């Protein structure tokens, strides 16, 4: 070999490593990335430093976003920061860096998140592994389970209203870690809800989490804070009639709401014909409203789920609270039965207008000295929870509430219509309705990844009215007259059930829930009993429609919240149920699908499609939900209701968690919705022929909702806007044409603002505007008759007219709007907290339409279309002391 | 309770909402009572809210009894115009009516006559406020209207009604539980025979005023056909619910095709009660 050749060969050999191995582990790297996918980092290093990367896109997730700024840092350290913390391992093979998934051993951290002071379990607390950017939230019982890399060194736990904590994890073992969070020192009551992960981190859509503290600081009507009234201020929820606390969700009727109190359905959620909700806010820990995208674990109603959790009671100290309001007073006591093991909480509420009106009523109704007059509603809650072991907890919850009117007359009379006649009259009339709900729940932790809850529950709603009447003529023996009669009408619906729910977290990519439910319903739709003895002769001793029927509903469900990739999540679920009544059965398979895709700038695109079935019908011919309405089971002629809802939306929570914004559109179709055509007469029964008075039709609702909320800071609040259409169609109504549903409102704007002033004051304002509701008015009138001959004596009051009822809901009431203001002052002294709330309802005294009717002008005898408005400006004050 | 408070604070104002009106229609009001002449009012329906209804004096009214023409003649009674039959209604026939008027749709209606209620053993004592009697119901669906009149004897010695009296019924027949506390007395009661079908029942009515010796009462119990019953019941409910914001408006039944009103049968039975 010539010298020249040797030199050339040496140069080539010397150059090869310089070219092929142009980098080593100590190569200084400068890199600046802000929220970029890992793949961008690789492309940058390949371009700038000639470092080639090899990986399979199917195996290694390179879409994970990173932020990294380094200057002249050794390559190995840069790679560690980029890959190791993201579960990717790298290996040099030749001139390439081969990337593979790091199969690091994992471990599961599980336990409960609770209030450090009271031991109250916290629902929806975020438990997060910062290094891996993965986390979970505590479930309805405060339980969490996070399977993470074995070398995870710490967990970050946060919850609004509490100080966030970082929990160090010393070894690499699976373990149970119960996390205690201390309340932040704020003016507000501890906020025990509303801290779900950011909207873009939830596949769930069409859901509202309600802060109970928000309910308490909002303006109040007659001094009563109301959970359902706060829900009404959310987009997609309409309140129905002015002043009512009923809820109509996305065009659904009130009977289509599944309202759960500690997992037990409550049939009638309102007191006083719908004006106040039955849920005492002092007892409520957490409220979740699902307007659509129903998780598979819920079933049995078409339009919404309101899942209310009651407080557990303080495990460590005794507390009490007494509240005085314009309308009602409340009392609450909580504390440990065995410190750290068993706690209880009891609340009670009663209105007292009757106590003030007792004497007036006695005189006005001529009740006599022994007479009585009672008119009130009350409710009471009790809950006990006991920790048996690290793995087992037991909860017993009870609710009872009732609206009650009773009048008792016991009086001797000397005259009758101005003429001498002595007689003794005893009369007692009672009218009342109420709910009872009980649940016994057992939490058991099978393993750090598998949590179960077993529930036994019972619920009932009953309406009862009865009278006793005794009459005795005292001018005996000249006049011998006596009556002794009594009668009773009642209706009742009951259900008793059991269910077992499992919560399984195999790894951070899957959150699985599955379970079984069985519910037995008992219906007594209107039973009448009478007994009448007149002049010692038995005239009546009988009962009508004394029938009880039952129906068994069985259901199974499964759902998996599946993280397919960093940007793609899927919620797959199915709820299958069957309903058995004597002689027939129904089966329904209801798919529940949710999808989330993370768009640029951290916006989440969400889609959902859910099917719901309802086996129970409510027979009502009321304009609102009345306690006399009757629940019945579906039949072949009046089949179960079904609904299908699709929804799409965009949602985002800002980086700081300060703002939350969501936009949703939905389309819902409802099948087998009913109209009950029975006359609105006195205390009716659903006899066997009730089906003949029902027409079956369809419903549609669609629209869009916008929600912007500021969640942190001294100034908070939200604005919600709803654009909605809600329609029905029945064969015999409006000639079969589609017509607007009675609470169809095109536009609805809700603005809620709160402002803290210093440490003691918080001001709130709520303004709402809604387009006019549909209205039906007579479209003509004509002369009435009741006589076969004009020679009969005329009635004492002249006869009226017949109004021609035209097409349903073809007119519109005028638009409604209203401003309410509230101010809350809190003073704390020696562990005693004094709270004063002053509210002003309908500040500018807007006369919103409640009802339209033709009123006769007594002077001209002409009938004039008249708009009735209620609830003018109403100031109220309430005061509470908590110790 | 709050409802009561709120309504107490309610405010009303007259409003004007344009309401579509289909135009006038013929209204036929005629109730067929056996052995009595047939009195038919023919009027026009009016826009909503009206309280005066013009009579169609020139209407063409054709009544058929069992397929035979029953002539009618217009008469004015008590300031109102009626088409009155020239022969009394017969219990065993079915009746139909056709009414025409210029510019209006022809109205047609038909009905039969129900059976007469059986009443006996009336009793009312002076100083008391009870009226007691026995009603014998026959098997099958019957509908009744109860009324009570104060009466006086005419020249023929027959007690004729003079004034309507108010009374209240045992709630076991009409579910009117609240009548007892509100001291609510009625001029008429509509009751189907569902609760005493095929039985003889003692019925006690508690009158608003005390019975006086020497007075006469006239009890009227009227059997109604389904159309007449349905009309009266739906009208009663509409009147009772006027201004009631808690219930949906109900439609008043009419058996008049092409128009409104009622052309229905009824059959009243009377009991004279001399108070002793």
Question: What are A508-565's pLDDT values in tens digits?
Answer: 789 999 999 999 999 999 999 999 888 888 888 888 888 899 999 999 999 999 988 8
pLDDT at A103 over 80: no
Is residue A20 very low, low, confident or very high in pLDDT (cuts 50, 70, 90)? very low
If asked whether residues A761 and A874 sit together in one domain, one would say yes
CB A169, CB A152: distance < 8 Å: yes
Q: What's the pLDDT at A680?
A: 65
In a domain, A16, yes or no: no
CA–CA separation, A305 and A575 (whole Å): 15
- Chain B residue numbers touching A407 (CB-CB < 8 A): 181
Residue A381 contacts by C-beta under 8 Å, 6 or more apart in sequence? A280, A283, A310, A345, A346, A347, A348, A397, A398, A399
pLDDT at B129 over 70: yes
CA–CA separation, A818 and A232 (whole Å): 14
Lowest mean pLDDT among A1-10, A243-252, A754-763, B74-83: A1-10
In a domain, A822, yes or no: yes
Of A535, A682, A788, the CB nearest to B175: A682
Q: How far is CA B228 from its chain centroid?
A: 8
* Cβ of residue B154 closer than 8 Å to a chain A Cβ: no
Look up the ipTM and state it: 0.95
Lowest mean pLDDT among A183-187, A219-223, B71-75: A183-187
CB A365, CB A373: distance < 8 Å: yes
In a domain, A216, yes or no: no
* Minimum CA–CA partner of B232 in chain A: A786
If asked whether residues A686 and A725 sit together in one domain, one would say yes
Which structure tokens are listed for A620?
């009502």
pLDDT at A439 over 90: yes
Q: What's the pLDDT at A178?
A: 85
Q: What's the pLDDT at B172?
A: 79
HSE of A552, CA atoms in CB hemisphere, 13 A? 8
Size of interface A-B (CB pairs under 8 A): 298
If asked whether residues A746 and A851 sit together in one domain, one would say yes
Q: What's the pLDDT at A85?
A: 64
The residue from A170, A185, A200 where one domain ends is A185
Residue A85 contacts by C-beta under 8 Å, 6 or more apart in sequence? A131, A132
What are the Cα distances from residue B220, in Å, to A273, A707, B36, B159, B268?
39, 66, 15, 12, 6
The residue from A101, A136, A160 where one domain ends is A101
A837-849 pLDDT tens trace: 999 999 999 999 9
If asked whether residues A502 and A517 sit together in one domain, one would say yes
In a domain, A759, yes or no: yes
Q: In terms of residues, how long is chain A?
A: 883
* Minimum CA–CA partner of A480 in chain B: B128
CA–CA separation, A761 and A778 (whole Å): 51
User: Which DSSP string do the residues of A799-827 spell out, in sequence order?
Assistant: --EEEEE-STT-EEPPPEEEEEEEEEEEE
Instruction: For residue B42, give how far its alpha carbon lies from the nearest alpha carbon of chain A (Å).
Output: 9
> Quick check: A679 and B234 CB within 8 A?
yes
A795-833 pLDDT tens trace: 887 778 999 998 888 999 999 999 999 999 999 888 899
In a domain, A744, yes or no: yes
If asked whether residues A537 and A557 sit together in one domain, one would say yes
Residue B11 contacts by C-beta under 8 Å, 6 or more apart in sequence? A847, A868, A869, A870, A872
Q: What's the pLDDT at A481?
A: 86
> Quick check: B127 and A475 CB within 8 A?
yes
CATH number for position A56: 3.55.50.30
A25-74 pLDDT tens trace: 888 888 888 888 888 888 888 888 888 888 877 777 787 778 888 888 88
Nearest 5°: phi and psi at A864?
Answer: -120, 135
Indicate the pTM of the whole model. 0.84
If asked whether residues A683 and A772 sit together in one domain, one would say yes
Q: In which element (H, E) is residue B243 found? A: none
Using the 8-state DSSP alphabet, how is residue B275 labeled? -
CA–CA separation, B130 and A411 (whole Å): 19
* Minimum CA–CA partner of A798 in chain B: B51
A692-715 pLDDT tens trace: 889 999 999 999 999 999 988 889
What are the Cα distances from residue A156, in Å, to A135, A256, A399, A658?
9, 40, 36, 19
Q: What's the pLDDT at B55?
A: 96
∠ CA B268-B269-B272, rounded to 5°: 130
If asked whether residues A46 and A132 sit together in one domain, one would say no
CA–CA separation, B65 and A794 (whole Å): 28
∠ CA A136-A137-A139, rounded to 5°: 130
CA–CA separation, A130 and A126 (whole Å): 12
pLDDT at A11 over 80: no
If asked whether residues A86 and A155 sit together in one domain, one would say no
In a domain, A453, yes or no: yes
* Cβ of residue B102 closer than 8 Å to a chain A Cβ: no
**Whole-number average pLDDT of chain A:** 87
Q: How far is CA A543 from its chain centroid?
A: 40
> Quick check: B6 and A871 CB within 8 A?
yes
Q: What's the pLDDT at A8?
A: 45
Kindly report the number of other CB atoms within 10 A of residue A656's CB atom.
9
> Quick check: A783 and B171 CB within 8 A?
no
Of A473, A487, A779, the CB nearest to B21: A779
CB A778, CB A797: distance < 8 Å: no
CA–CA separation, A806 and A736 (whole Å): 13
> Quick check: B41 and A365 CB within 8 A?
no
CATH number for position A157: 2.60.40.1120
pLDDT at A175 over 60: yes
pLDDT at B243 over 80: no
- Strand duo A175-176 + A106-115: pairing: parallel
CA–CA separation, B149 and A792 (whole Å): 10
CATH number for position A839: 2.40.170.20
pLDDT at B228 over 90: yes
pLDDT at B93 over 90: yes
If asked whether residues A581 and A452 sit together in one domain, one would say yes
The residue from A140, A165, A185 where one domain ends is A185
pLDDT at A228 over 60: yes
Is residue A360 very low, low, confident or very high in pLDDT (cuts 50, 70, 90)? confident
If asked whether residues A511 and A540 sit together in one domain, one would say yes
Kindly report the number of other CB atoms within 10 A of residue B242's CB atom.
16
Q: What's the pLDDT at A846?
A: 92
A602-619 pLDDT tens trace: 899 999 999 999 999 999
CB A606, CB A595: distance < 8 Å: yes
Q: In which element (H, E) is residue B4 found? A: helix B2-8
Q: What's the pLDDT at A668?
A: 97
Lowest mean pLDDT among A459-468, A865-874, B250-259: A865-874
Does the CA dihedral B207-A408-A475-A481 come out positive or negative?
positive
Q: How far is CA A255 from its chain centroid?
A: 14
**Percentage of residues of chain A with pLDDT beyond 90:** 46
Domain of A59 in residue numbering reads as: 22-101
The dihedral formed by the CA atoms of B60, B64, B67 and B68, expressed in degrees to the nearest 10: -90
Q: What's the pLDDT at B276?
A: 79
Most confident of A150-159, A218-227, A466-475: A466-475
> Quick check: A847 and B13 CB within 8 A?
yes
Instruction: For residue B133, give how far its alpha carbon lies from the nearest alpha carbon of chain A (Å).
Output: 12
If contacts are CB pairs under 8 Å, which of residues 110-139 in chain B contact chain A? 125-130, 132
What are the Cα distances from residue A52, in Å, to A41, A61, A75, A99, A276?
12, 17, 13, 11, 68
Nearest 5°: phi and psi at A229?
Answer: -65, -35
What are the Cα distances from residue A389, in Å, to A223, A309, A445?
42, 22, 10
In a domain, A235, yes or no: no
What are the Cα distances from residue A353, in Å, to A361, A549, A715, B4?
11, 38, 37, 11
CA–CA separation, A397 and A390 (whole Å): 21
Is residue A196 very low, low, confident or very high in pLDDT (cuts 50, 70, 90)? low
Is residue B1 very low, low, confident or very high in pLDDT (cuts 50, 70, 90)? very low
Q: What's the pLDDT at A623?
A: 67
Q: What's the pLDDT at B245?
A: 67
> Quick check: B27 and A478 CB within 8 A?
no
Judged by DSSP in three states, A216 sits in helix
If asked whether residues A157 and A42 sit together in one domain, one would say no
pLDDT at A769 over 90: yes
Q: What's the pLDDT at A135?
A: 79
CA–CA separation, A92 and A101 (whole Å): 15
Q: What's the pLDDT at A170?
A: 73
If asked whether residues A160 and A51 sit together in one domain, one would say no
CA–CA separation, A774 and B154 (whole Å): 57
In a domain, A275, yes or no: no
Judged by DSSP in three states, A354 sits in helix
Domains of chain B (ranges, CATH numbers): 26-111 (2.60.40), 118-242+265-274 (2.60.40)
CB A606, CB A576: distance < 8 Å: no
Structural domain total, chain A: 3
What's the distance, Cα to Cα, between the start and end of chain B in Å?
Answer: 46
CA–CA separation, B26 and B56 (whole Å): 8
CB A249, CB A314: distance < 8 Å: no
Q: What's the pLDDT at A384?
A: 96
Instruction: For residue B101, give how far its alpha carbon lies from the nearest alpha carbon of chain A (Å).
Output: 16
Q: In which element (H, E) is residue A693 found? A: none
């Amino acid at each position: 070999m010539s010298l020249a050749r040797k030199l050339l060969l040496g140069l080539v050999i010397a150059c090869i490593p310089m070219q092929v191995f142009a980098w080593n582990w100590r190569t200084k790297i400068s890199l600046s990335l802000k929220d970029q996918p890992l793949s961008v980092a690789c492309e940058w290093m390949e371009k700038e430093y000639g470092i080639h990367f090899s990986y399979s896109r199917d195996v290694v997730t390179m879409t994970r976003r990173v932020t990294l700024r380094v200057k002249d840092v050794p390559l190995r350290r840069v790679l560690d920061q980029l890959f190791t913390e993201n579960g990717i391992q790298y290996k040099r093979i030749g001139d390439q860096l081969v990337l593979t998934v790091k199969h690091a051993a994992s471990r599961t951290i599980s336990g409960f998140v609770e209030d450090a002071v009271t031991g109250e379990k916290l629902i929806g607390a975020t438990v997060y592994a910062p290094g891996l950017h993965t986390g979970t939230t505590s479930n309805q019982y405060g339980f969490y389970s996070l399977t993470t890399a074995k070398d995870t060194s710490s967990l970050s736990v946060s919850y609004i209203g509490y100080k966030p904590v970082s929990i160090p994890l010393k070894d690499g073992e699976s373990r149970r870690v119960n996390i205690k969070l201390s309340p932040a020192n704020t003016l507000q009551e501890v906020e025990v809800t509303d801290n779900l992960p950011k909207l873009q981190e939830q596949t769930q859509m069409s859901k509202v989490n309600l802060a109970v503290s928000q309910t308490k600081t909002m303006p109040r009507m007659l001094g009563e804070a109301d959970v359902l009234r706060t829900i009404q201020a959310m987009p997609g929820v309409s309140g129905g009639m002015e002043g009512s606390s009923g809820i109509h969700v996305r065009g659904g009727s009130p009977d289509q709401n599944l309202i759960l109190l500690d997992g037990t359905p409550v049939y009638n959620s309102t007191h006083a014909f719908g004006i106040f909700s039955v849920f005492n806010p002092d007892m409520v820990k957490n409220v979740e409203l699902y307007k659509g995208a129903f998780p598979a674990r819920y079933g049995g109603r078409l339009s919404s789920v309101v899942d209310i959790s009651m407080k557990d009671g303080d495990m460590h100290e005794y507390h009490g609270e007494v509240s005085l309001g314009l309308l009602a007073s409340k009392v609450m006591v909580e504390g440990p039965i065995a410190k750290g093991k068993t706690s209880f909480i009891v609340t009670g509420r009663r209105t007292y207008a009757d106590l003030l009106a007792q004497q007036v009523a006695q005189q006005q109704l001529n009740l006599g000295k022994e007479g009585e007059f009672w008119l009130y509603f009350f409710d009471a809650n009790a809950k006990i929870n006991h920790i048996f072991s690290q793995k087992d907890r037991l909860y017993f919850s009870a609710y009872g509430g009732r609206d009650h009117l009773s009048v008792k007359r016991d009086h001797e009379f000397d005259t009758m219509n101005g003429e001498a006649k002595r007689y003794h009259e005893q009369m007692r009339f009672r009218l009342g309705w109420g709910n009872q709900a009980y649940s016994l729940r057992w939490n058991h932790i099978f393993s750090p990844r598998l949590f179960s809850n077993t529930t036994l529950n019972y619920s009932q709603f009953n309406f009862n009215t009865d009278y006793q009447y005794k009459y005795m003529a005292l001018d005996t023996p000249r006049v011998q007259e006596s009556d002794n009669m009594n009668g009773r009408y009642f209706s009742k619906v009951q259900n008793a059930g059991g269910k077992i729910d499992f919560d399984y977290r195999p790894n951070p990519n899957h959150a699985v829930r599955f379970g079984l439910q069985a519910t037995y319903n008992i219906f007594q739709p209107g039973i009448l009993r009478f007994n009448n003895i007149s002049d010692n002769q038995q005239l009546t001793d009988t009962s009508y429609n004394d029938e009880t029927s039952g129906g068994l509903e069985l259901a199974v469900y499964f759902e998996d919240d599946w993280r397919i990739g960093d940007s793609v999540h899927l919620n797959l679920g199915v709820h299958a149920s069957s309903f058995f009544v004597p002689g027939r059965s129904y089966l329904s398979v209801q798919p529940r699908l949710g999808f989330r895709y993370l768009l640029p700038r951290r916006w989440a695109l969400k889609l959902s499609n859910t099917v719901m079935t309802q086996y129970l019908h409510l027979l009502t011919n009321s304009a609102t939900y009345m306690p006399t309405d009757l629940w019945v089971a579906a039949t072949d002629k009046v089949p179960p209701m079904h609904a299908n809802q699709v929804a799409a939306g965009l949602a985002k929570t800002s980086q700081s968690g300060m703002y939350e914004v969501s936009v949703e559109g939905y389309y819902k179709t409802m099948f087998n919705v009913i109209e009950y055509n029975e006359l609105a007469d006195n205390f009716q029964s659903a006899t066997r022929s009730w089906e003949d008075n029902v027409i079956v039709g369809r419903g549609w609702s669609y629209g869009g909702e916008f929600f912007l909320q500021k969640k942190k800071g001294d100034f908070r609040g939200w604005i919600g806007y709803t654009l909605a259409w809600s329609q029905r169609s029945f064969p015999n109504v409006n000639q079969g044409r589609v017509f607007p549903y009675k609470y169809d409102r095109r536009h609805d704007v809700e603005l809620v603002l709160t402002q803290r002033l210093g440490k003691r004051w918080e001001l709130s304002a709520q303004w709402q505007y809604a387009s006019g509701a549909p209205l039906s008015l007579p479209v003509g009138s004509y002369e009435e008759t009741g006589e076969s001959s004009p020679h009969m004596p005329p009635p004492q009051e002249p006869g009226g007219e017949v109004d021609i009822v035209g097409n349903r809901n073809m007119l519109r009431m005028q638009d409604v709007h209203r401003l309410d203001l509230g101010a809350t002052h809190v003073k704390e002294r020696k562990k005693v907290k004094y709270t004063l709330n002053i509210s002003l309802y309908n500040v500018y005294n807007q006369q919103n339409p409640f009802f339209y009717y033709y009123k006769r002008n007594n002077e001209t005898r002409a009938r004039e279309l008249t708009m009735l408005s209620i609830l003018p400006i109403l100031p109220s004050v309430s005061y509470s002391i908590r110790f | 309770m709050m409802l009561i408070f709120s309504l107490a604070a309610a405010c009303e104002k007259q409003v004007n909402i344009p309401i579509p009106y289909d135009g006038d229609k013929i209204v036929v009001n005629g109730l067929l009572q056996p052995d009595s002449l047939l009195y038919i009012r023919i009027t026009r329906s009016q826009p909503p809210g009206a309280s005066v209804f013009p009579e169609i004096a020139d209407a063409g009214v054709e009544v058929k009894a069992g397929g035979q023409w029953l002539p009618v003649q217009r008469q004015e009674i008590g300031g109102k115009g009626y088409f009155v039959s020239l022969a009394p209604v017969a219990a065993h026939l079915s009746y139909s009516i056709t009414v025409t008027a210029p510019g209006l749709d022809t109205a047609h209606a038909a009905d039969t006559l129900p059976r007469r209620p059986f009443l006996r053993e009336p009793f009312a004592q002076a100083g008391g406020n009870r009226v007691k009697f026995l009603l014998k119901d026959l098997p099958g669906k019957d509908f009744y209207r109860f009324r009570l009149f104060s009466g006086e004897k005419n020249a023929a010695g027959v007690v004729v009604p003079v004034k309507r009296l108010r009374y209240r019924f045992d709630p076991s027949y009409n579910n009117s539980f609240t009548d007892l506390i509100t001291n609510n007395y009625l001029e008429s009661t509509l009751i189907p025979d569902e609760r005493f079908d095929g039985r003889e029942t003692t019925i006690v009515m508690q009158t608003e005023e005390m019975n006086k010796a020497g007075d006469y009462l006239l009890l009227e119990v009227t059997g109604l056909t389904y159309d007449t019953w349905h009309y009266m019941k739906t009208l009663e409910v509409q009147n009772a619910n006027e201004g009631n914001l808690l219930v949906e408006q109900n439609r008043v039944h009419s058996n008049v095709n092409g128009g409104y009103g009622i052309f229905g049968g009824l059959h009243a039975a009377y009991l004279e009660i001399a108070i002793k």
